[in-house]
Amino acid sequence: MHLPFSTQTQAKLATLYAGLIFGIYWIPLRELEVAGLSEMLPAMVFNAIPMILMLPVIVWRWPKIRRAPLQFHITGVVVGLALVTYTNAFLYTNVVRVLILFYLTPVWGFLLARVFIGDRITPIRLTSIALGVGGMLVIFGFEQGFPLPNNSGDWLALTGGIFWAIASLMMLVGKESPVDYAMWFFLWNGIAAIAVTLLFFDQTGAVMPDIDVFVSVLPWMLPIALILIIPTGFAVIYGPTQLNPGVAGILFMVEIGVGTVTATILTDEPFGARELAGVLMITFAALIEPVRDLLLNR
């Protein structure tokens, strides 16, 4: 079946979809906490289950993956580094600072694409960056200006965003199948989440729950992994294999807007004029290019 949109537009729509779904990931993560999994354990379960479910496909694709060029395998390592630094950042600084510093990804993405593949930073992309970063600052209320890194957690968040921008560029210029990149994504996400938990869980002072607690979440986590996490993982990878990494980063920022709105609906999080303005700014930032492409049918 021939789709009516170009590959670029399809990739932008897939990335928008991924950002939208990322915005509700906090819901099953919180339910894992309610079930008795604390500290880093929810993130470990959230990433390990999709990896385990995808292992048969990874094994099936392994002969092709094994023969892939070195760049493909380095890309997998960089994706893993992005996840590890991003995850660890939450241990050493607050969530707001992590999100803002990590989501400078579009800035690094546009700069890397300009330097290495000569992709222009157009006025519409500059507008997207300004709206996206401005919307984050409005939502999180940094009246005193941008939060410059001042502790290890801040630097980890900033580094994570840079690693993700680098990985996005490597996927764009690589010639491997998005399916194989997705397999690498699931594998490294699961490995990194397990490794981080094993390395740092004891330092948090939390107590490892009984195996029964892990088993009790499987009846609802398995369907969530199959229906929500795995399809989103493919969308997360497909976008960067086709798009300028800065564009992909801007589209992913819609996660912040969706997360803000859903947290307001389902919890006691405040939502007023400031939050609404920030959500609208981020939404406009993410939609400028896809809407233009849809209108121009390209």
Q: Concatenated DSSP letters for 223-271? A: HHIIIIIHHHHHHHHHHHHHS-HHHHHHHHTHHHHHHHHHHHHHSS---
- Give the C-alpha separation, 229 to 224, whole Å: 6
Residues in the chain, how many?
A: 298
Span 138-147, pLDDT tens digits: 776 666 566 6
- Give the C-alpha separation, 203 to 34, whole Å: 21
Give the pLDDT mean for 74-96.
74
Quick one: what percent of the chain has pLDDT higher than 70? 88
The pLDDT of residue 72: 82
Per-residue pLDDT band for 226 (boundaries 50, 70, 90) equals very high
Q: Out of 167-176, 226-235, 237-246, 286-295, give the one with best mean pLDDT.
A: 226-235
- Give the C-alpha separation, 123 to 22, whole Å: 28
Span 254-274, pLDDT tens digits: 777 777 777 777 776 666 777
The pLDDT of residue 115: 87
The pLDDT of residue 1: 43
Give the pLDDT mean for 281-286.
77
The pLDDT of residue 36: 83
- Give the C-alpha separation, 290 to 6, whole Å: 11
- How many Cα atoms are found within 13 Å in the side-chain-facing hemisphere of 297? 2
Kindly list the domain boundaries of the chain, sorted by start residue. 7-296
Span 170-224, pLDDT tens digits: 888 877 788 888 888 888 878 877 887 887 777 766 777 888 888 889 999 999 9
Q: 115-119, 234-238, 252-256: which range is least confident on average? A: 252-256
Q: Give start and end residues of each alpha helix (H) in 93-205.
A: 95-102, 105-117, 123-140, 152-173, 178-200
The pLDDT of residue 96: 65
The pLDDT of residue 52: 92
User: Residue 74 above 80 pLDDT?
Assistant: yes
The helix, strand and coil proportions of the chain, stated in percent and rounded to the nearest 5, come to 80, 0, 20
- How many Cα atoms are found within 13 Å in the side-chain-facing hemisphere of 98? 18
pTM over the 0.85 mark: no
Whether 193 contacts 41, CB under 8 Å: no
Residue with tokens 């209108």: 295
Residue 99: name the closest of 146, 144, 143, 168 by CA: 146
Query: What is the rounded (10 degree) CA torsion for 37, 38, 43, 49?
Result: -20
The one-letter code for the residue type at 233 is G
Cα-based angle 111, 117, 123 (whole degrees, multiple of 5): 50
The pLDDT of residue 53: 93
User: Residue 102 above 60 pLDDT?
Assistant: yes
